[in-house]
Amino acid sequence: MAQEHSPYRIGLVANRAHQDLPNSTLVQLLNGSKASITEVLKPHFSVVGRTMDSMKVYDLLTDYPDIERLPYGHDGGLMRLVARIVDPEPAKSLDAIIYLMDPVDPSSAFPEAIALKRQCVIHGKPFLSTLAGAREWIELEAMNLTGKTNPVLDPCFAYGSQGIALISHDAMKPEMLRLAEKHFELLDRFKVRYATGTTGGLLNELAKQMKGGKEGDGWVTACLSGPMGGDAQIADLVLDRRCSRILFLEDPHVARQHEADIQLLERAARVVTDFTSCNSDNKNADRWLALLSKRA
């Protein structure tokens, strides 16, 4: 049964290209997930001004009672979302951010946009920047509460025809191995797995232990290391629609010489916004993989 009082508090914002047309990404998300939002999750929404304007124009979540309007972006709307993410008071803090980002919109590289994503990683909160990622998160959370699924979304969870990328910074490699071992059965269901450099080698060694030497050999298709271009190789796979999910365990406290390559991969996911999700939520990666397994 749907809960009476939801703990979910969601920040919502979309770039112009994702909200200015009758069939925009924002319209697809809120109309396609309307039942899960209004009948199951029942979240509080904090919506940046111009996105709220578009919701009114296209009658999105009409009469939904729990929507707070924030200022326009140029008046500090995104900055307010950053402050809400880090706020220690549960009544003010946000649990997730849906930021439908257009990779060629200059505002996606503004300091407040970068800070919003970074603080989500630091505080262990989902940063959902693609239609595929936001739609998946809403479906999984609703399924977890009710045990019911939306059959329209079944193709999104057909792992046997999909690819997944597993990427981790040095400090996060032990956690990636722990997650891969715990959720090996789920990851093994994917058509193909990709990883950069050292992470790929470690995962292939794990697969040999789990499946046996011959069967585990080449379990992961290993790309170059991140600094040597591995992120760019996976970005190419994303653009070719050969990789539909990215699990990126980031260490946000370490300066990274190949930051541009990391941003390239994330931007590639946003180019094919209806196809690929990029999950950088270290704190809840375990839960995400468990819910993916449950949804299957």
Phi then psi for residue 192, to 5 deg, are: -150, 150
Tokens 């585990």 correspond to: 216
In the set 102, 231, 261, 281, the catalytic residue is 231
**Any idea what DSSP says for residue 72?**
P
Angle between helix axes 173-182 and 285-295 (nearest 10 degrees) is 20
* Cβ atoms within 10 Å of 287's Cβ, excluding its own: 12
Phi then psi for residue 126, to 5 deg, are: -60, 135
Q: Which of 270, 274, 243, 248 is nearest to 259 (CA)?
A: 248
Answer for the pair 192, 163: CB distance below 8 angstroms, yes or no.
Answer: yes
> Is 231 one of the catalytic residues?
yes
User: Which residues belong to the active site?
Assistant: 231
